[in-house]
Every structure is written in C-alpha cells, then in structure tokens.
Amino acid sequence: MTYLPPNRYFSPDPAQRQIALTLYQTVADLPLICPHGHVDPRLFADPDYQFGSPAELLLIPDHYIFRMLYSQGIRMADLAVPRQDGGVVESDHRQAWQLFADNFYLFQGTPTGIWLTDELVNVFGVSDKLNAKNAQAIYDQIDAQLKSPAFQPRNLYDRFNIEVLCTTDAATDTLAHHNAIRNSGWHGRILPTFRPDAIVNLDTENWRDQIAALRHVSGIDVVDYTSFIRAIEQRRAFFKQMGAKAADHAALTAFTTQLTDQDADIIFQRALRGETTNADAAQFTAHMLFQMARMSVDDGLVMQLHVGSYRNHNEHIFHRFGRDMGADIPIASEFTRGLRPLLNQFGNNPDFTLILFNLDETTYARELAPLAGHYPAVKLGPPWWFHDSLNGMHRYFDQVMETAGIYNTAGFNDDTRAYPSIPARHDVWRRAACDWIAGLVVRHIVDEADGAVMVKALAYDLAKTAYKLA
C-alpha cells in the first residue's frame, strides 16, 4: 500500500517539519493558478470529452515517462508510442501498460514517480504500488473511472480547484477550441498563450509551410519582413482579444540583438527562398526576441522566454517518432551579455514583464537572480522541466531568493501536457515552498507571520500578479 502522509517531502527535522506543515495547511486548498502549460484546449471545448485508455492518458503522450523506459533499453514502439514514419507499434494498450508497470521501479526517487504516485492515489484512488502483478487490475480500475462523467476534463477542472489555466498555442492557431469554450457558457477560465516559435525560428522544419499558414490565418500576404511583422502584430491582437495574457518564446540561447529592418529583410528573403544558414537563424531569432519585447511593451502581453533546450538531440528517434519525444537535452546558457541589448531598451520599463525560464541552474545565482534583482521588467519563472522537482526547487530557492527576493519571481506553473498531474505538481511546489520557508523560520531568518505571507505569495499570488490574471 502506498501511504502519502500529510508531512511528506518536508525536512525530517521535527521543528522545521511542524512549521512546514502549519504553513502548508494555510495554502493547501488555495485555487490553482496555471499560467503556463501545454494542456490541449480541446479537452474543454467539448463538454462531453472523455479520455481514452489509461495508457493513452498516462503513458503514451508523456515523454517524461517513456524517456526513462527507453533509457533502459525498452523500445518506444513496445510502449505504443506512435511512429511518424508509419512504422508498426504495439496496438494493445494493456500490453504497453504491463511493460510500464513491470518497470515502474525505475521511477523511484524521481519527480515523475512522485507525480504518478500522487495521481494514482489522489485522482484515481489506486493505493497499491503499481507492479507487474497488479498492472491489469489497476488498468481496469482506472479505465472504468475514465468512462465516468466525474473524470471528464471540465469536472476535473472543478475537482482540481483550478482558477485559471493558460494553454500554449501556435501563432497560426485559429483558437477554434478556445472560441468554443467561450461560446459554451462554461464557467472555467481557459486562456490562450501566443507562441510564435515556429514562424520566428527560421530553422524550424518546414518553416515555409508555417509562413503559408500564417498568411492563411492572418489574411496578410507575408512576402517580406515588414508584412511578417504586421502579421505577427495582427495575431497578437487576435490572441489578446481571445483572452491571452502572455506570449511565450523558446530559443536555444538568450542572445538578443536589434537588426535594421533592411538587414532583417535580407535574412527573411533568404529564408523564403529556402537558403537559411545557421547564422541567419540565430541572428533572426535574436532580433525577433527584441521585436517581441517591443510588441509586449506595446500590447501588454507578458513575455515568457524559455532558453537552453537542444531539441531533437537523437536523430534516430526524431526521424521515427518526431518532436518532443524525451530527446531534448539542455545546454549551458548565458544571459548577462545575451539579454543586454533587449534589457537596455526595455528592461527599465516597469510595465513590461519578461519572465525567464532556464535549464542551466548555474545561471540562477550568477546571472538570473542579479538581473531580476535589478531590472524592473525581469521576473524569474519557477524551475523548469528537468528541474521541476523537489531538489530542483530546493536549489532554486537556495540560489535565487537571497539575491532576487521572492517578489521578483513569478510563482509556480506546472508547464505540463499531463492534465491529471496538475494537482500533484502544484502540491509538490507548495510543499517545497513551505519547507523552505519553515527552514528560514526555524533559523530565525524570517518570523512565522512573514513566513505565512511568503508562502501564500509563492503558492498563489505571485503567479496571478506576474501574469496579470487578477
């Protein structure tokens, strides 16, 4: 039997643990603010949406899970992960689930293990530890629940106590699902986020198809840099009208620059001709980050920047299974010099918000906290991706907060495509935050009254404020 005691994940020190628990009880039931993530808005567009099999919900789409299984020599096809190239994969989800259960021990001590366990216990009422023997019985138990109305996404939204959930949507998206949600009269608050990477990063596969889609959706004939910018501005206006509060940008590095319109157009024309070089793509992304900051200053959309993931590291996997298959590997990052052009132009504007995410923890104390602790525009996002874990949060609190202070951070976001994992992810953050603050209290660095304000800020207020969701 899995037992999830009320004081889990806290320091073992009895004094700190007691304070952590007391603090936790003040934030445990606060609504969830989900300002950044990858849940599909389709889940909410159809009031009667139902999830598929347990494997379809929990295993097949989750690259956190199958990367670990793959790393131990298990074939992704055997886990029923669909191939893009038409290759055959396991079609029996029970078989794939069995393989997952056989190897569930691999997740011991990992954040994925923590989330899955919490999800099984608290969302699905499964308190037996998943293993080879009980795999099919647990499959049946989850499967039956997924067919009940209580497990439809809108009902889970209420059960999860979500206050607002922002999705991530391509610049070329029509936001049809978002429109359906708005027109349905449902009380849930699901907002789009503007993510233009595919049109901005010239080295995107099939970039010219993306531009064709942009032409189509914007009605603007994108033939040069000027019309490209106009189309983007038009899309941002549309997203904003549809409720968006933020834009989101992913880049390999934090390098920013301001090209002349003429130089930008020369690169853009090369790209239209399919003649992009690596240097072109790097320069253009750096320039477009600068432009996106300018637009954010103009339209008020919060600018998020996710830096440092080397995408599709494994060509073998990429060619067979496509993007986002657990084969993105971080690289070292640099912000101090890279962001300087952008920050010198826009960073002193307190109405502009730039939220930074990063996979290189060495920049926490060295670059990010000093930048956030100085520039009015800069806020730091929570630990991202590989670092969205108890130890990752611990390192974040210890390396960021002394220099940045908590009020230059943007609270938590779950950044997940795994909808049923949302409560578990917020709970880990809230527990980690309470334990960290309890450590300050027990060391007499802050008192309990201040500590209570701080944990509420970390658990709820900061995310809401930073993303203008109030």
Q: Write out the binding residues for a second copy, residues 140-169 only, by CB under 8 A.
A: none
How many other β-carbons are positioned within 10 Å of the β-carbon of residue 223?
13
Kindly list the strands in the beta sheet with 169-170, ordered across the sheet, starting from the edge strand earlier in the chain.
Answer: 169-170, 194-195, 246-251, 302-307, 354-358, 378-380
| Of residues 16 and 152, the one with the C-beta less far from a second copy | 16
125 binds a second copy (CB under 8 A): no
Of 15 and 212, which CB lies nearer to a second copy in the complex structure?
Answer: 15
Tell me if 47 contacts a second copy by CB under 8 A: no
Does 7 participate in binding a second copy (rule CB under 8 A)? Answer: yes
Applying CB under 8 A, which of residues 26, 110, 145, 234 lies at the interface with a second copy? 110
Decide: is 371 part of the binding site for a second copy (CB under 8 A).
yes
Number of residues that bind a second copy (CB under 8 A): 94
HSE, CB side, 13 Å, CA atoms: give it for residue 251.
29
**Minimum distance from residue 433 beta carbon to a second copy (Å):** 12
* Residues of this chain, 405-434, that bind a second copy according to CB under 8 A: 405-408
Residues forming beta bridges with residue 303, ordered by sequence position? 247, 354
Q: Residue 342 is which amino acid? A: L
Contact with a second copy (CB under 8 A) among 47, 188, 370, 465: 370
For a second copy, the closer CB: 3 or 273 = 3
Residue 95 beta carbon to a second copy: minimum distance, rounded to whole angstroms:
20
Closer by beta carbon to a second copy, 13 or else 280: 13
Q: Which of 38, 42, 67, 215 binds a second copy (CB under 8 A)?
A: 67
DSSP state letter for 77:
G
CA distances from 343 to 156, 190, 348, 350, 369 (A): 41, 31, 7, 12, 15
Please, which residue, 67 or 294, has the CB nearer to a second copy?
67
Tell me the sheet residues that pair with 169. Answer: 194
Q: Binding residue for a second copy (CB under 8 A) from 330, 382, 420, 423?
A: 330
Residue 278 host element (H or E):
helix 278-299
- The yes or no reply on residue 442 touching a second copy (CB under 8 A) is yes
DSSP H stretches of helix in 300-415: 315-321, 340-346, 362-363, 369-372, 390-404
The two structure tokens encoding residue 151: 């497990």
Does the protein bind a second copy through residue 365 (CB under 8 A)?
A: yes
Q: For every residue of 126-171, which 3-state class applies, written as one string?
A: CCCCCCCCCHHHHHHHHHHHHCCHHHCHHHHHHHCCEEEEECCEEC
Instruction: Record the tokens describing residue 447, joined without a space.
Output: 């008192």
Q: How many CB atoms lie within 10 A of CB 348?
A: 12
Q: CB of 413: closest distance to a second copy in angstroms?
A: 19
233's tokens: 């501005």
Q: Which residue's CB is nearer to a second copy, number 133 or number 216?
A: 133
- CB closer to a second copy out of 107 and 460: 107
Return the range that interacts with a second copy (CB under 8 A); candidates 23-31, 67-75, 144-152, 180-188: 67-75
Taking CB under 8 A as the rule, does residue 378 contact a second copy? yes
* Binding of residue 26 to a second copy (CB under 8 A): no
* Residue of the chain from 374, 417, 461, 465 that contacts a second copy (CB under 8 A): 374
Q: Among candidates 11, 96, 10, which has minimal Cα distance to 58?
A: 96
DSSP result, 352-367: --EEEEES-THHIIII
Tell me the torsion sign for CA atoms 156, 161, 164, 170: negative
Residue 331 binds to a second copy (criterion: CB under 8 A): yes
Query: Would you say 162 or 400 has its CB closer to a second copy?
Result: 400
Query: How far apart are CB 448 and a second copy at their closest, in Å?
Result: 11
Question: How far, in Å, CA of 311 to CA of 326, rounded?
Answer: 9
Q: How far apart are the first and last CA of the chain?
A: 41
Q: Which is nearer to a second copy, 243 or 373 (CB)?
A: 373
User: By C-beta, is 137 or 445 nearer to a second copy?
Assistant: 445
Q: Point out which span in 88-96, 147-155, 192-200, 346-354 binds a second copy (CB under 8 A).
A: 346-354
Give the tokens for residue 399.
């390396």
Question: Interface mask (CB under 8 A) for a second copy, residues 299-318, using x and -?
Answer: -----------x--xxxxx-
Does residue 71 interact with a second copy by CB under 8 A? yes
